[in-house]
Structure 1
Amino acid sequence: MTITLKSYPVELSLAAFICLMGSIECTIVTLFIERGNPTAWSIQLASKLLAAIYGGVICSGVGYYVQGVIMKTLGPVFVTAFNPLSMVIVAILGSIILAEVMYLGKGFLE
Structure 2
Amino acid sequence: MFGLIGRLLINALALILMTMIVPGLQLAGLSTAIMAALVWGLVNTLVRPVFSFFTFPLQLLTLGLFTLVLNGTMLALTAKLVPGFTISSFSSAFIGALVLSIISLILTHLFK
User: TM over 0.5: same fold?
Assistant: no
- TM-score with structure 1 setting the length: 0.31
**Of the two, which has the highest radius of gyration?**
1
Higher helix share: 2
